[in-house]
Amino acid sequence: MSITELIIKDKVCINYAKSLAGDDYKDLLSDAIEKILSLENKGKVFNNKYKSYFYLTLKSVLNDKYRKKKVKEVELKQQHLEMKEETNSISIHQKVLENFLSTKFKDEKEQLAQVITELSLRMDKKEIAERTGYSKELVYQYLNIAKELIKDEYNRVIFNKR
């Protein structure tokens, strides 16, 4: 009779697996038997010490599962933190853009930069130039002005400056 057959028929071995894993004992038992089979196929013979070897293997498999679970938990927490940071970053950028677009500028160039920026959210630069009658170079100049104003607003939001 093979070692795996001895283990499967041994009530003490089954009860030990149940005591360690509860309702999931069949999965644990199956993984431990697979590990024993792989060693058995490599020529290792356990003879009459199959119970003690089974107990050690069972604990080893259980520890491996626990480690994998912990690694997954750590990875999930890390992913959650990264997603949270990304969401915060998006909301900060959105707030900065909303602040910029809702600001009442006194300077005419800044007002035009604001309008062109708002248009650029809905159409490309060539279309803006065609609709406004401005050259593409002038559209880019106003967008560069807007870029600087948005950077200033970003610094104000991030560092609470004004």
Quick: pLDDT tens for 45-81.
566 677 888 888 889 998 888 888 888 888 888 888 8
**Whole-prediction pTM value?**
0.47
Q: What's the domain count of the chain?
A: 2
∠ at Cα 90 (81, 118), nearest 5°? 175
| Assigned domain for 93 exists | no
Name the domain boundary from 60, 77, 94.
77
What distance, in Å, lies between the first and last C-alpha atoms of the chain? Answer: 83
Name the domain boundary from 77, 93, 121.
77
Range of the domain at 32: 3-77
User: Phi and psi (nearest 5°) for 2?
Assistant: -75, 165
| Assigned domain for 41 exists | yes
Q: Are residues 51 and 14 in the same domain?
A: yes
